[in-house]
Amino acid sequence: MKRLGGLAIALLCSASALADGYRNCQQDWQLPHAPPSRIVALNQHAADMLLALGAGPALVGVAYLDDNGAAHKQGRYFGVPVIAPRYPASEVLYGQRPDLVVGGFATAFGNGITSRTGLAGNGVGSYLLESACAGRSLDYFGHIRTDLQTLGNLLHKPQRARDLIEALDADLASAQALAKPAKPLSVFYLDSEVNGLDSEGRQGFVSALLAAAGARNLLAGINQYRVTVSSETLLMSDPDVILLADAVWSPASRKRQLLTRDPVLSRLRAVRENRMIDIPFTHLVPNVGSGKVVLDLARQLKAL
């Protein structure tokens, strides 16, 4: 019996060690302990995924909220303290005593002690959403499923992760059923107007988002992630619809102002006919709610 008991304990310890290990961005990583009890999310969409997975009180801080100005002012995001308007300084980040730091963009992790290896060296686990990993594929919805599954396992919420994946797939199927069999509408995505008309090409998530909603990214033929176009080039292409990112740092209202007042851009058919759709910035990056975003877009595009 003693021998059997020892074997059982050994197996439990082995299972625990496996639960603490995980694969992310094609590398193997380790958590100091699982489930993590003090998590910091360095981007809004990373926080949204953790909240959806039921991280609860384990989520002790969020940073860099892209499209929720009210949370900036209140200092809390769904009850979680906002620790920095952008990425936190190293002393602020370590001051939260995190055991897991989750980023939505590669820029979330800095150099030195705030890099992923620097955090690991100080006993802090890290996770970067798969869509932001170097060398990622363009299977963005697949990346969301992987994130949910991996983070769900780390939080010891595997069933919740499965439920969210099923909801994602159901919304994508509903959107596909709505898509018109006719020629898809061409859509120009305006990410920012601060330094020119910034958009995304084939490698950006917006191409996948629009395709799932039954439309076509106007710049999908350009095999790049970020693309900046001139007013004259956009006028020649004359898209059916314009999608406007609504962010704290570049509100959709300001983009509408530019489009309606600019002597060239105001001649666009989508501007003249007010075929413009405002959408929160975090809806334009791969996240837990992307299925709902696609379905909502499909409905709006169908109405047009």
Beta bridge partners of 21: 30
Q: Which amino acid is at 151?
A: L
Residue 135 belongs to a domain with what CATH number? 3.40.50.1980
Instruction: Specify whether 49 is located in the same domain as 152.
Output: yes
pLDDT in tens, 79-92: 999 999 999 999 99
Q: Which of 15-19, 70-74, 217-221 has the lowest mean pLDDT?
A: 15-19
**What range does the domain containing 298 cover?**
180-303
Q: Is residue 112 part of a domain?
A: yes
Nearest CA to 78 out of 96, 97, 94, 62 is that of 62
Q: Is residue 109 part of a domain?
A: yes
Q: How many domains does the chain have?
A: 2
**Cα–Cα distance for residue pair 94/110, rounded to 1 Å:** 13
Give the predicted TM-score (pTM) of the model: 0.91
pLDDT in tens, 36-70: 999 999 999 999 999 999 999 999 999 999 999 89
Which residue carries 């991280």 as its tokens? 55
| Residue 160 near residue 213 (C-beta atoms within 8 A) | no
Q: Is residue 294 part of a domain?
A: yes
Instruction: Specify whether 148 is located in the same domain as 206.
Output: no
- Count CB neighbours of 301 within 10 A: 24
Q: Is residue 149 part of a domain?
A: yes
Q: Is residue 168 part of a domain?
A: no
Look at residue 16 in the predicted model and tell me its pLDDT: 38
Q: Is residue 14 part of a domain?
A: no
Q: What is the dihedral of CA 211, 128, 77, 291, to 10 degrees?
A: 20
| Residue 144 near residue 287 (C-beta atoms within 8 A) | yes
pLDDT in tens, 214-271: 999 999 999 999 999 999 999 999 999 999 999 999 999 999 999 999 999 999 999 9
Instruction: Specify whether 196 is located in the same domain as 89.
Output: no
Instruction: Specify whether 62 is located in the same domain as 110.
Output: yes
Q: Is residue 10 part of a domain?
A: no
Domain boundary at 140, 156, 172, which? 156
Instruction: Specify whether 209 is located in the same domain as 127.
Output: no
| Residue 144 near residue 137 (C-beta atoms within 8 A) | no
pLDDT higher than threshold 50 for residue 31: yes
Backbone dihedral region of 82: left (phi > 0), alpha (psi from -120 to 50 degrees) or beta?
Answer: beta
Q: Is residue 165 part of a domain?
A: no
**Cα–Cα distance for residue pair 29/45, rounded to 1 Å:** 22
